[in-house]
Amino acid sequence: MIPRLVIISGSSGAGKSSALRLLEDEGYYCVDNLPPRLLPKFSEEVLEHPEYERFRGVAVCIDARAIKTGTEGDLGTLAQVLALPDRLIIFLDAQPHVLLKRFSETRRRHPLAGPDNSLPEAISRERKHLEFIAASADLLIDTSDLTPRALRDMITSRLVQQRDGLSILFESFAYKRGVPTDADFVFDARALSNPYWQDDLRTLTGLDEAVIQFLESEPRCLAFYETLNAFVKAVLADFDQSDRSYMTVAIGCTGGQHRSVYLVEKLHADLISRFPAAQIRHRDLPSTDLL
């Protein structure tokens, strides 16, 4: 079920405003940069007042400007918020070099920047301010490689669309471009034979039949997949019985083109009957859309 209270937080430049605008378009009552100490009473007022029943829910954005590191009052209030029923916390982040580039390109001023600190220092300081929320988030989204359109599609598919049970994302990636920071489980497929070194397979991907046949002819690949499948199936079953709503399973290889793509596709195909809402994202293939 879609939660009635959505709390959005994360690094400046990571897409919080875009996420909040999307939820407003989807019928949420949205408030930007609400002080944490006001959130418990605000959510109680809005969620229980009949005037707001016409809204799908309440979405609130909290950023580092409203949180004082080490202030017991704010941390205590945030702890109360985390204990609220029917709430979801989304934390958006991006790699530091990506945030630096975004601020440089837009010429925006970082909220925590000042005469006594540089932009990299402001980004680092902000991360420290938000550690408490990040550690408690239900859904982490790394927007480093996401366009604004792809971010909207991800939030729509993972949050807005009505679904029951665990929401799972199977993601392939290239180690040479870094490990996804929003993954709950990461598996390394680089020990398997690499189709890249076959001239006729180099330009293909794990979606192509020739690559699939090559990998499935390798006993070591089949043994790896059987172990992976058994582990993921058991873990997802455990989380499906808990209160966890979102899970991201990432599989990487050197280039994110052959082995990881094949494994993600096969894992998704084998588990889709049990988790009908499971999705696929091939991060480092040309298209970043969710499948």
Domain boundaries defined on the chain: 5-160, 167-282
On whether the CB atoms of residues 224 and 146 are closer than 8 A, the answer is no
Q: Which residue has the tokens 């480093």?
A: 144
The more confident residue out of 124 and 82 is 124
The more confident residue out of 152 and 200 is 200
Q: Which amino acid is at 63?
A: D
Give the per-residue pLDDT at 75. Answer: 60
Architecture field, domain 5-160: 3-Layer(aba) Sandwich (3.40)
- pTM value? 0.68
pLDDT band, very low/low/confident/very high, at 281 (cuts 50, 70, 90): very high
Count the neighbouring beta carbons within 10 Å of the beta carbon of residue 252: 28
Q: Which residues pair with 9 in a beta bridge?
A: 91
Give the per-residue pLDDT at 36. Answer: 76
Give the per-residue pLDDT at 41. Answer: 81
pLDDT band, very low/low/confident/very high, at 197 (cuts 50, 70, 90): very high
What mean pLDDT is reported for the chain?
A: 85
| pLDDT > 60? residue 168 | yes
**Torsion sign over Cα 220, 225, 228, 230:** negative
| pLDDT > 80? residue 22 | yes
Task: Give backbone dihedrals phi and psi of 220, rounded to 5 degrees, phi first.
Answer: -65, -35
Give the per-residue pLDDT at 220. Answer: 95
The more confident residue out of 218 and 44 is 218
User: Would you give the DSSP letter of residue 114?
Assistant: B
| pLDDT > 90? residue 47 | no
* Token pair for 5: 């209270």
On whether the CB atoms of residues 86 and 4 are closer than 8 A, the answer is yes
Give the per-residue pLDDT at 64. Answer: 75
Percent of the chain topping pLDDT 90: 38
Count the neighbouring beta carbons within 10 Å of the beta carbon of residue 70: 8
Task: Work out the average pLDDT over 241-264.
Answer: 90
Task: Work out the average pLDDT over 24-45.
Answer: 83
User: Among the ranges 91-105, 134-148, 215-229, which has the highest mean pLDDT value?
Assistant: 215-229
CA torsion 58-59-64-69 (nearest 10°) is 40
- Among 184-198, 211-225, 236-250, the least confident range: 236-250
